[in-house]
Structure 1
Amino acid sequence: MDTVTWSLLFGVLQVLYIEVVLGNGCFTFQGSCCILCNPGYFLPQECGTCTPCPATGYTDKRNNKSYCDHCQRCEGIFRYVEKCSSTRNAVCTCIPGKKCTDEKCKRCKTDRCPAGQRLVGQKCMNCPLGTFNTGAEHVCTPWKNCTALGGVIINNGSHTSDVVCGGYVTKKTQSPGPTAAVTTTTKLRSVPEPSPGLSNLDIACIVVPSAVVLFLIAICVLWREKLTEKMKHLFQNIPKPIVKQTEEEDGCSCHFPEEENGAEDEPMTLEA
C-alpha cells in the first residue's frame, strides 16, 4: 500500500477509536484519554471519556470541565422563549405587563407605556390605526363605530383619544303660503355616552347632605316642642288679677212703709 492509503486507513481507525472507545463527545484525545469534550458533554475525570450533560445542565463550548452548567428556569414572572438543551441555556423573558431590566433578563419590572402606545414584546410601540390608549391601560382599545350607533363622526380619533360621534335629528317646519310646503331642517346633536352607575363618591354626596338636612329638621322639631312647653309653663305661673266686687245698693228699689195702724185684712170703716 502506498502512503496515501495508509494515511486514510489511519484516519478512519482514529475516528472509530474516538467514537467507540472514547465516545462521540470527545473532541481531542491523548493516548487513551480524552482531553477536550464537545459542547453538550463534560469530562468527569482527567483521563477518561466525555459524558453527556444531564437534562438540567448544558455546556455550550468545547471544554474539559468536570461539570455542566445549570439550566435557567423561567418561572413566576418569567416565561420561556427557548427551553434549555444540552448545548444551550434556556432563554427567558418577562410575562406581559412587565419588562426585562437587562439583556439577559435576570429581573423584571412593571412596565407601562405612555399614552398612544402599547407594549409589544419588550418595546413600546404606537397603537395601530383605529385604536387608542389614554395611558391608563396596557392595551390599545378600538375606536367607537359611529355608524353602528346611528350617528356620524364629529371628531376624528387618534392614538390617544377615541372618536366623538354625533347623530342627526330632523325637525319639520311649515312655511306660510297658499300651499303648505313642509321643509325639513337638520340639527346636529351629540350622541350621549351610556351613563355609568353611580360611584361611591356620588352616593356619598347624596346621602351625607340628606342626612344632615334630616338631622337639622329633627333638632328644629324638638326645639319647637320644648319651647312650646316652656311657654305654657310660663303662662301658668303668671298670677291672676284680683277683682274686688262691691255690692251697690239698688237705688231704684223703693220700700213702701207698712201701715202701722191695723192689719192688712182689717176692713176699712167709714166714720160719720
Structure 2
Amino acid sequence: MDTVTLSFLSGVLQILYIQAVLGSGCLQSQGSCCILCDSGYFRPNDCGPCLPCPATGYTDKPNTKPYCDHCQRCEGIFLYKEKCTSTSNAVCTCIPGRICTDEKCTQCRRDRCPAGQQFGGQKCVDCPPGTFNSGAEHRCIPWKNCSALGRVIVNNGSRTSDVVCGVHITKPTESPGSSSAVTTVTRKIRPVVQPSPGDSNLTIIYVVVSCTVGLLLIVIVVVCRQKLTERIKHIFLKIPKPIVKQTEEEDGCSCHFPEEENGGENEPMTLEA
C-alpha cells in the first residue's frame, strides 16, 4: 500500500475508534478523553464521552461545556415560531393583537403604532404619501379628496393629520349701474373647523363650574337672608315697650235721681183724709 492509502485508513480507524469509545458527538479526542464535543452534545466529565442534549436543552456550536443551554419557552403572550432542537434554541413570536418590541422578541406590546405610522410586518413604518394616522387608527387612511366634494384645500395634510377642505359660500350681489337685476356670485372660502376632543372637554368643564358657582351663590343668598331676618327680629325684641298708665276719667255727667224735698229721708209716709 502507498502512503496516501495508509493515511486514509489510519484516519478512518481513528474516527471509528472515537465513535466507538467516546461516542458519535466527539470531534476531537486526546487518548480516551474527548476534548471537543459537536453541536447538540455536551461533556459532563472532564475526561469521557460526549452525551446528546436532553429535549429541554441545546448547544448550537462545538463546545466543551459540561451542560446544555436551556431552551426558551414561549408561553402566555408568546407563541412558538420555531421549536427548540438539540442544536438551536426556540424562536418566539407574540400572540395576535400584539407585536414584538425587538428582533429577539423578548417583549410584546399592543398592536398599535404611534401617530404617522402603521404596521409593516412586525414593525411600525411611516404612512405612505397621501395617507395619515392620527394615532387613533390601527392603519394609515387616505386624505379627503376635496375636489370630489366640490371644495378646495385650505390646509395640506401630513402623516399625522388629514387635509382641511374649505366650504364655498355663495352670496348674490347686484351689479351697480344696471337696470335689470343682474347678479354676480362671490365666493368666500371658510375652513371647516372640526372641534377637537379637548374643546368639548373644556365646554363640559365650563358648564359644570358655572352650575356649581350658581348653586353656591343661591345657597349663600338664602343663608344670608335667614340670618338677616333673625337679627332684625332680635333687635326688635330688645326695644323696651312704653308703660301706659290707665286713669279713670271722671264722668262729666253723673246721673243721680233727685231727692224729694218733702220730708226727710226717714219720715214715714201718711195718708191724708
TM-score (norm 1): 0.56
* 1:39 alignment partner in structure 2: 39
After superposition, the Cα gap between the structure-2 partners of 1:70 and 1:225, relative to the gap in structure 1 and judged at 3 Å, is: closer
Please tell me whether the aligned partners of residues 44 and 65 of structure 2 are also in contact (alpha carbons under 8 angstroms). yes
Provide the rounded CA distance (Å) in 2 between the counterparts of 1:76 and 1:53.
Answer: 26
Distance, in Å, in 2 between the alignment partners of 1:42 and 1:222 is 89
2:237 is the alignment partner of 1:217 = no
Shift, 1:208, TM fit: 3.1
| 1:117-141 CA-partner distances (Å, limit 9, x unpaired) | 789899997554345578x889885
Cα distance in 1 for partners of 2:73, 2:149 equals 50
Alpha-carbon offset, residue 156 of structure 1: 1.4
Alpha-carbon RMSD: 5.4
> Do residues 60 (structure 1) and 63 (structure 2) align?
no
- Offset, 1:213: 2.2
Q: CA deviation at 1:89?
A: 4.4
Paired residue secondary structure (2:67): coil
Structure 1: 5+ residue stretches without partners: 242-272
- Please tell me the residue identity of whatever aligns with 1:212: V
Counterpart of 1:51?
51
The 10-residue stretch of structure 1 (181-190 or 216-225) with the greater mean CA deviation from structure 2: 216-225
Q: d(CA) in 1 for partners of 2:101 and 2:4?
A: 63
Determine the structure 1 residue equivalent to 2:186. Answer: 185
**Deviation of the 1:39 alpha carbon:** 1.6
Q: Distance in 2 between matches of 1:31 and 1:3?
A: 24
Distance 1:205 1:97 in 2: 43
Change (3 A) 1:146 1:234: farther
The number of residue pairs the alignment matches comes to 238
172 and 32 in structure 1: CA distance in 2 versus 1, 3 angstrom threshold: same
TM-score when scaled to structure 2? 0.56
- Three-state SS of the structure 2 residue aligned to 1:158 is coil
- Could you tell me whether the CA contact under 8 Å between 1:143 and 1:163 is conserved in 2? no
State the Cα distance separating 1:62 from its structure 2 match.
2.2
Identical columns (%): 58
> What SS does the corresponding residue of 2:210 show, helix, strand or coil?
helix
1:117-266 alignment, distance < 5 Å: 128-131=128-131, 142=141, 144-147=143-146, 151-159=151-159, 161-175=161-175, 177-193=178-194, 196=197, 198-199=200-201, 202-221=203-222, 223-224=224-225, 230=232, 234=236
Quote how far apart the aligned CAs of 1:41 are: 0.8
**1:50 corresponds to which letter in structure 2?**
C
Decide whether aligned partners of structure 1 residues 97 and 165 sit closer, same or farther in structure 2, where only a CA change above 3 A counts. farther
Write the distance in 1 (CA, Å) between the matches of 2:196 and 2:156.
22
Q: CA deviation at 1:43?
A: 1.9
The answer to whether the 8 Å contact 1:166/1:190 transfers is yes
Distance 1:137 1:92, change over 3 A: farther
Report the alpha carbon displacement of residue 114 of structure 1 after superposing the two structures with TM.
9.6
Structure 1 position 78, deviation (Å) = 8.1
Q: Is the Cα–Cα contact under 8 Å of residues 133 and 141 in structure 2 kept in the other structure?
A: no
After superposition, give the CA deviation of every residue in 1:76-114 in whole Å (9 maximum; x if it has no partner).
7988887654334457799758569xxx898999xxx99
Determine if contact 2:42/2:50 at 8 Å carries over to the other structure: yes
